[in-house]
């Protein structure tokens, strides 16, 4: 395996910034962290060999690190997540690939009942990462399009991250692998090959628990994460010609939330919209809205607005899925309405 990991547009893994896709950044993080720490291993369905997983995120790992550290598993999420628990307790750092985030529910007991509680019960550290390819918009229907992050944000003992850029896809995955807590890493399938960005070389990390301003503004704040950061930036561009200055805050980490950044931007603009692709009811946006209402109410000039998926399974039909999901047009309309409030 060459130092460029087979990517035509990369140079050396220790080099300065390169332009990578979101998916390439994930793959590079795995190569770097496995090379850095022999206790890091990858496991999941079809992650080894030439196949490299359903989305090719692990392609080339087995050739470099061997099948003792790149482990193909049966289609049995509860079983191999339980294996990861045991490995982590014995000092390894498994990175578990759920083929789709939707299938994570099959491993719910291993994650929520065991891994999340082990530290508090005095059993020990469980330093695994679950990579969960999530989100829809690509006509994959209800079993391959879900955004189940709220389940895990609600669970004490877990950390939850959701990168929106290639740089954070690499940096947050590296940070998650090095973290001594179990981390659910939600990676956005629609972003895999649709976006590119500068990615630092070497073994850098993006700090877990820190949000990022993707667009500074003064009139309206939109808070988002994952794919919806890009949808929101599109909407912000659409209203800019009419003099509406939108600030976009990318949460990046869903647990722990960067409460300081959330309150700072809410106080700055006084008008807040929260967007996520997951269905709106009891989603992450509800927690963010409650935080702002409790801690920054006197700074608000308008009601807090939430935009999310409808309270239905994700439709397969393209027109129905478009109706289900937040879109730039829906966000644009909400921004204009709130700006005029």
Give me the catalytic one of 144, 154, 230, 237. Answer: 144
Number of CB atoms found within 10 A of residue 77's CB = 23
Q: Choose among 52, 44, 47: nearest CA to 128.
A: 44
Strand order in the sheet with 212-215: 212-215, 246-250, 220-224, 272-279, 305-309
Buried b / exposed e over 28-55, threshold 16 CB at 10 Å, is: bbbbbbbeeeebbbbbbbbbbeeebbbb
Token pair 């496991």 is found at 43
User: CA torsion, points 104, 330, 288, 305, in degrees to nearest 10?
Assistant: -140
Structure-token pair, residue 50: 């030439």
Structure-token pair, residue 335: 């921004």
Question: How many helices (H) and strands (E) in the chain?
Answer: 11, 14
Report the distance separating Cα 284 and Cα 309, nearest Å. Answer: 12
* Residue 148 CA to its chain's centroid (Å): 11
Does residue 144 carry a catalytic annotation?
A: yes
Token pair 């409460």 is found at 259
Q: Which secondary structure element, helix H or strand E, spans residue 284, and what is its range?
A: helix 284-295
Report the distance separating Cα 28 and Cα 7, nearest Å. Answer: 9
Report the distance separating Cα 212 and Cα 257, nearest Å. Answer: 12
> Which distant-in-sequence residues (6+ apart) come within 8 Å of 7 by Cβ?
20, 24, 27, 28
Number of CB atoms found within 10 A of residue 303's CB = 11
- As annotated, the active-site residues are 144
């Amino acid at each position: 395996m060459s130092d460029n990991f087979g990517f035509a547009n990369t140079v050396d893994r220790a080099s300065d910034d390169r332009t990578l896709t979101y998916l390439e950044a994930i793959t590079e993080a795995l190569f770097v962290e496995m090379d850095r720490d022999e206790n890091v291993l990858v496991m999941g369905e079809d992650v080894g060999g030439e196949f490299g997983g359903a989305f090719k995120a692990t392609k080339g790992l087995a050739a470099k690190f061997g099948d003792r550290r790149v482990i193909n598993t049966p289609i049995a999420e509860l079983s191999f997540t339980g294996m990861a628990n045991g490995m982590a307790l014995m000092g390894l750092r498994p990175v578990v690939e759920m083929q789709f985030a939707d299938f994570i529910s099959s491993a719910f007991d291993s994650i929520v009942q065991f891994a999340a509680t082990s530290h508090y019960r005095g059993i020990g550290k469980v330093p695994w990462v679950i990579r969960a390819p999530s989100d829809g918009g690509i006509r994959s229907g209800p079993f391959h399009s879900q955004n189940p992050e709220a389940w895990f944000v609600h669970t004490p003992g877990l950390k939850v991250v959701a990168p929106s850029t290639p740089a954070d896809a690499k940096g947050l995955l590296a940070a998650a692998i090095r973290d001594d807590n179990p981390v659910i890493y939600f990676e956005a399938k629609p972003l895999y090959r649709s976006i590119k960005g500068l990615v630092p070389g070497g073994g850098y990390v993006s700090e877990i628990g820190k949000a990022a301003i993707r667009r500074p503004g003064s009139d309206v704040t939109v808070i988002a994460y994952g794919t919806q950061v890009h949808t929101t930036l599109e909407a912000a561009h659409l209203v800019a010609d009419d003099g509406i200055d939108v600030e976009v805050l990318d949460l990046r980490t869903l647990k722990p939330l960067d409460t300081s950044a959330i309150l700072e931007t809410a106080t700055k603009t006084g008008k807040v919209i929260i967007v996520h692709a997951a269905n709106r009811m009891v989603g992450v946006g509800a927690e963010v809205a409650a935080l702002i209402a409790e801690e920054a109410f006197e700074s608000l000039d308008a009601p807090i607005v939430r935009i999310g998926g409808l309270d239905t399974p994700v439709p397969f039909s393209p027109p129905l899925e478009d109706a289900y999901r937040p879109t730039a047009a829906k966000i644009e309309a909400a921004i204009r309405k709130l700006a005029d409030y």
